[in-house]
A = this chain, B = another copy of it.
Amino acid sequence: MATSTDTEPQPRLPLTRRRILRAAIDLADAEGIAAVTMRRVAGELGVEAMSLYHHLDNKEDLLDGIVEELIGEIETELGGFRVDVGVEDWQPRLRHIILTARRVMLRHRWAPSVIETRTKMPPGLVRYFEMILGIMIEGGFSNDLAHHAMHALGSRALGFSQELFVPASTTEKAASDAMFAAMMSELPYMVGMLSAISHDDPDSTLGWCDDQTEFEFGIDLILDGLEARRLAG
């Protein structure tokens, strides 16, 4: 009876690259990217760290593979990376794609840091950007404007918000009056902005920010600007 009801229910599922990558992603979701060490990932699979090296070159290869998996999730949500030839409404289509990518990234909040540290362009990401480029070209962009647009979008094309931090005070509701007075002399504009915003919307706590609203404001600023330059050029 010891063998059938052991700690490992599945006696021996064969280790594969895919299974390792999914285990690493689950681990990162649960405990953060810092928990993703070769030893910990192996442990989650009931195996020794060194066994992973039969399916991966090294840790960089693990991280590269994770990125490919994430791009796969975006592709699945979109039903494939498709550029419809002759379709001209580039702006709503691009907006939808970027917001879809953003949903995937929000499921894996550690993803930006992993993607940003890749030294070689992951093939899946090349295909993603090819789709974005294709939609702009079909939408009437010149090659030159499309090129600028790719640079201007940057990592925002994947739904990254690219914000450094929410200013300290905005994360804490109800800063004390004493602290507020102290800040007032040093940061008059910041304090003025935060109190104006909280007055305008009595439901909002002081300085509370809606990430989704702010992301959409930023992306529309860029997409509107590109449309204006397309019409002008």
Assess the A200–B144 pair: CB atoms within 8 A. Answer: yes
Q: Determine if A74 is an interface residue (Cβ-Cβ < 8 Å).
A: no
Contacts of A151 in B (CB 8 A): 161, 163, 209, 214-215, 217-218
Assess the A134–B225 pair: CB atoms within 8 A. Answer: no
Assess the B168–A164 pair: CB atoms within 8 A. Answer: no
Q: In the complex, how many residues of chain A place their beta carbon closer than 8 angstroms to a beta carbon of chain B?
A: 56
Assess the B225–A165 pair: CB atoms within 8 A. Answer: no
Alpha-carbon separation in the docked complex, A225 to B116 (Å): 27
Total copies of the chain: 2
Interface of A is mostly: helix
Q: Determine if A156 is an interface residue (Cβ-Cβ < 8 Å).
A: yes
User: A: which residues have CB within 8 A of B?
Assistant: 83, 113, 115-118, 120-121, 125-127, 129-130, 133-134, 137, 143-144, 146-148, 151-152, 154-156, 158, 160-165, 167-168, 186-190, 192-193, 196-197, 200, 209, 214-215, 217-218, 221-222, 224-226, 229
